[in-house]
Amino acid sequence: MRTITMNNELWVEVMSDLAVILAEDYGDGLDVVVDENGDEYYTEESQERFNSYTDEAESIMVRLGFISQNREES
């Protein structure tokens, strides 16, 4: 299998996007709260679900042959 190395910024972006897709397609989605300053963040429950989906997203990426520069350098 080929290996595709991503810089760390792209790795986090793709992994996060994939986690959101997994949550939307296979879970209950992710609830967002907007505070008085307009900042958006996940509810505590949604953050926990996002973290779980992030683990799954990373596993999928590794199985597809993607690695981050962090892993390559260690």
Six token digits for residue 52: 């779980």
* 9: pLDDT strictly greater than 60: yes
Please report where in the chains the tokens 């996002």 appear, as a residue.
50
* 71: pLDDT strictly greater than 80: no
Domain residue ranges of the chain, discontinuous segments joined by +: 4-73
* 72: pLDDT strictly greater than 80: no
Phi, psi of 25 (to 5 degrees): -85, -30
- Rounded to two decimals, what is the model's pTM? 0.84
Please report where in the chains the tokens 């679900």 appear, as a residue.
49
- Cβ atoms within 10 Å, residue 30: 17
* pLDDT tens digits for range 27-55: 889 999 999 999 999 999 999 999 999 99
pLDDT of residue 1: 74
For 1-74, where are the alpha helices, taking DSSP H only? 8-26, 44-63, 69-73
Whether 27 contacts 53, CB under 8 Å: yes
